[in-house]
Each structure stands twice: as C-alpha cells, then as structure tokens.
Amino acid sequence: MSILYPRIATTTIDIFRPGMIYEANMIFYHPDYDNYDNSNDIALLKTQFKMSFNQYVSPISLSNEPLAFNETCEIAGWGKEHFDGTSFSSELRITEMTMMDTQECRLIFDDGNVLLGKDQFCARSDMGGACRGDEGGAFVRRDPSDVLLGLISTNFCTLDNLPTAFVDVYLHREWISSTTGIQFP
C-alpha cells in the first residue's frame, strides 16, 4: 500500500490552473497532538525536491513575538463556501479576520461542546471565516512584511459568524526548529 502525500501548488489562484506543484515526501506530525481538544494540531511537510523561489514565491517568516490581540490579518483557502455545501471553491478566497479575546472564544466554542487547545487562538470577521477544506491554511500579517501567525485548526465550518480557531505558530517555534534544523532569531 502506498502513502498519498499532499501536494503544494504555488502561485495558484484557480485550483484548476495550478502553478508549480511540489510533491511532499515526508510529513512530520506533532508528537503531542491531542484529538480531544486539538492541541498541537500542526504538522510539517518536506517536499521531494527543493522549491524554487522568485518574485511570486518566497518563504514566509514566523513571528518573533507572542500574538497581539485585536490585530487584523488574512486567511486564504479553497474550502467550502457554505456550511451545508457539497463543493469546494475553485478560486482562492481571501478574508480579513481580527483576533479576539481567547476567553470569549472559549465560551462561544464551549456552547457548541467544542474544546480549544491551550495553543490555540481565535479570530472572526463579519465576512465569514474558514470552512471544511481550509484546514492548515495560514493566518498572515501582511504589513510591513508577510508573517505567519497561525494555522487554521478546526475542522468544522465557521462561516455563520462564528470564530475560526487557529494554532499559534509562535508557540511551536522550538518544535519546528528541532524538527527542521532551521534556527530562528
């Protein structure tokens, strides 16, 4: 039985017209992932071949500091467009979201009997949020440069004015460094 690894498509807006595609050949799951509360819901992919960088494709920086709540950032994905939808978006959709108070978010999710991990934070937007198919997508600060703050964690749809839960990437820098060998400032 062969393992199907994810593929990474760079410079892609229309999923049916992908840019350069890189096959992953290794997945590193966080060893302390907890399915109960989604703690440590993070993994790393290693591509089979080295990625080519140019003016359109470049590595993203990780934050050097803890999150600042009420900050507005962007998410992007090809997830479902509606909670009860059967199809995924064919074009990349981008939404601005604002980080919210973690305790307020926990109360909202507790009402739905959903637990948040200790390494998770939330953001929301009047324009919607993440849905199935967006998991693993980036929560990015664009100004002054692109910085990865979080990864979409929850595997349910939050388009109905509910918050989206994210893994706080800053809290996983040590694991990322020990797994990849990349040193951070």
**Tens digits of residue pLDDT in 96-120:** 999 999 889 888 887 767 788 899 9
Q: Which of 32-46, 126-140, 171-185 has the lowest mean pLDDT?
A: 126-140
Q: Is the pLDDT of residue 139 over 60?
A: yes
User: Over the Cα atoms of the chain, what is R_g?
Assistant: 16
Query: CA-CA distance, 14 to 118, in Å (whole number)?
Result: 35
Q: What is the pLDDT of residue 89?
A: 86
Closest CA to 38 of 150, 181, 178, 142: 150
Query: CA-CA distance, 44 to 128, in Å (whole number)?
Result: 27
Whether 73 contacts 168, CB under 8 Å: no
Q: Is the pLDDT of residue 65 over 80?
A: yes
Query: CA-CA distance, 139 to 153, in Å (whole number)?
Result: 11
Percent with pLDDT over 70 in the chain: 95
Closest CA to 146 of 25, 57, 54: 57
Domain boundaries, the chain: 7-59, 61-171
Q: What is the pLDDT of residue 161?
A: 64
Q: Which CATH number fits domain 7-59: 2.40.10.10, 1.20.140.10, 2.60.40.10, 3.90.420.10?
A: 2.40.10.10
For 94, the token pair is 């981008």
Query: CA-CA distance, 96 to 127, in Å (whole number)?
Result: 8
End-to-end CA distance of the chain: 41
40 pLDDT band, cuts 50/70/90, is very high
Question: pLDDT tens for residues 71-88?
Answer: 899 999 988 877 777 788
157 pLDDT band, cuts 50/70/90, is confident
CATH fold match for the domains 7-59 and 61-171 = yes
Query: CA-CA distance, 6 to 17, in Å (whole number)?
Result: 17
**Residue whose tokens read 């999710």:** 109
What would the CATH number be for the domain defined by 61-171? 2.40.10.10
